[in-house]
Amino acid sequence: MKYFESFSQDSLNQMISNVQSSLYLSLPFVHDEIAETIRELSRKNDTGSGQVDIHLLVDFDAQTIRQGYGSFEAVRKLLPLNIELKNLSDNRVSFIIADDIGYFLFIESRSLIPADKATINAVRIDPVSMTRLKLHFFPSIDEKEMQNELSNAIIEESKQLEHAEDIIQQDRSQAKEISEKDYQAVKTDLKKNPPIHPDYKRKVNIYATRFQYVEVRFKGKSFQQCWLTLPDNLLPYKDNGLRQKLQTKLKLFEGLKKTQAYKEYLKIRDEEKRMLEKYIVPLNCRPNQKILKKEDKESFKEEIEAINSKLEEVGKNLYGEMLSEIKNTEKELNSTLYNFWKNNPTEDMRNMGEENMELMARDKADRAVKSIEFPEPQSRWIKNLKIEVHYSDITYEDLGNAELLKELKEKELIDQADETNLADFSKGIKYEERQVK
């Protein structure tokens, strides 16, 4: 293998899966793919197809996970395995030693670099250094065994140094001068999208773990104010009084308010209101945005799910009542139109003679009602009857907004120390923006 390597997540996984006798792996944290590969490797010990010695070292800290180095679930799956899994706080010395091949790994957060991008991120470890790494980072290793390994490593390293010309003849990197074109391209890019200073980005991440924006929508509630619009050509008369009278007859679901199903629905709406008052903090400076404390998020989600479950049940009861209301409205409209045409016959009706006027009035009323598209309750309301929630994180710009910070302080989402800290942060942002320009 080459002295300098480009490891993507897939190629690192492949190296792990090819291990025959021993694996020493030190990473900030592990992602699901690596955890699954290690699980598969450990099964060799259970099946008797070979004995593999597995040693894994991570920085087991919530912030490491937040920074994009792995997932809690990945480590949870590894804990029951018969492997050495240790925690070393704040360790960023990453390496893999697979059997007798080792590489220092320059691991990036997935928040910055995609898993499938193969950057130049690995340097071959010499035999002596591999032994020293094992001894330092994995104290459980038997020292006597390592003494023998170290002796062999020194001999192996000496042999390699005898062929110094091979090192000189290796391929060189493709490093090149920074051209004027490259310089201007980067400068333009930074002006369009200025970088966030790492210290400021960390600060944003800290507050993003404390609270976030939440948007709550109660869907399917529009049935409470549902009007049917009559086609303009339904009546040949332009009497506004008559037309207004007819429209009042077309407001749907007025009778629904007297039903038990609707009363149960209103109880759920009251429950939703109390739940929002309990968890959600409205913002005067941003009427369309509300704040949720992250520590309350799981409880909030559980209560939303409970309310949605109740809405699903009450929706089934509302469906039958809605259908009944629509049928009653059709009958009432038919009767209103029939009486209207009976008492206000058209010229065609008069030409057909008095004996046919009632029949024509009935036919015109039936046809008119059929021409109106009445809503279908299940597709329009019932299947959408639920609370929908959208979350978004506090941003870099938010924490530099003096008006927002003042309101967060007033509503006790941050304290005086936070406000002072963020005031300095805001000054720093403005300075950074001036520097980019």
For residue 23, pLDDT over 90 is answered with: yes
Q: What is the mean pLDDT of residues 415-431?
A: 59
Q: What is the mean pLDDT of residues 283-304?
A: 90
For residue 171, pLDDT over 80 is answered with: no
For residue 231, pLDDT over 70 is answered with: no
Q: How far apart are CA 58 and CA 28, in angstroms?
A: 5
Contact, 94 vs 106, CB < 8 A?
A: yes
Contact, 42 vs 81, CB < 8 A?
A: yes
Q: How far apart are CA 361 and CA 352, in angstroms?
A: 12
Residue 230: per-residue pLDDT: 67
342: left (phi over 0), alpha (psi -120 to 50) or beta: alpha
Q: Which helix (H) or strand (E) holds 436?
A: helix 416-436
pLDDT digits (tens, 9 = 90+) for 101-149: 999 998 887 655 666 666 788 998 988 888 889 888 988 877 777 777 7
Residue 414: per-residue pLDDT: 78
194 phi and psi angles, rounded to 5 deg: -60, 140
Residue 395: per-residue pLDDT: 78
Contact, 75 vs 60, CB < 8 A?
A: yes
Highest average pLDDT, of 175-179, 254-258, 322-326, comes from 322-326
pLDDT band at 436 (very low <50, low <70, confident <90, very high): very low
Contact, 52 vs 21, CB < 8 A?
A: yes
Residue 247: per-residue pLDDT: 53
Q: How far apart are CA 296 and CA 404, in angstroms?
A: 21
What are the structural domains, with CATH classification, of the chain?
4-168 (3.30.870), 210-394 (no CATH)
Question: For 398, how many CA atoms within 13 A lie in the half-sphere containing its CB?
Answer: 21
**Is pLDDT larger for residue 196 or for residue 405?**
405
Q: What is the pTM of this model?
A: 0.54
Residue 421: per-residue pLDDT: 62
Residue 202: per-residue pLDDT: 63
Residue 329: per-residue pLDDT: 82
Q: What angle do CA 207, 213, 214 make, to 5 degrees?
A: 145
Residue 431: per-residue pLDDT: 40
Q: In percent, how much of the chain has pLDDT > 70?
A: 78
Residue 162: per-residue pLDDT: 61
Q: How far apart are CA 176 and CA 208, in angstroms?
A: 40
Average pLDDT of every residue of the chain: 81
Contact, 7 vs 103, CB < 8 A?
A: yes
**Is pLDDT larger for residue 308 or for residue 427?**
308
State whether residue 375 is helix, strand or coil.
coil
Q: What is the mean pLDDT of residues 375-400?
A: 84
Q: What is the mean pLDDT of residues 409-436?
A: 62
Contact, 117 vs 88, CB < 8 A?
A: no
Q: How far apart are CA 264 and CA 313, in angstroms?
A: 10
Q: Among residues 121, 101, 167, 143, which one has the least CA distance to residue 27?
A: 121
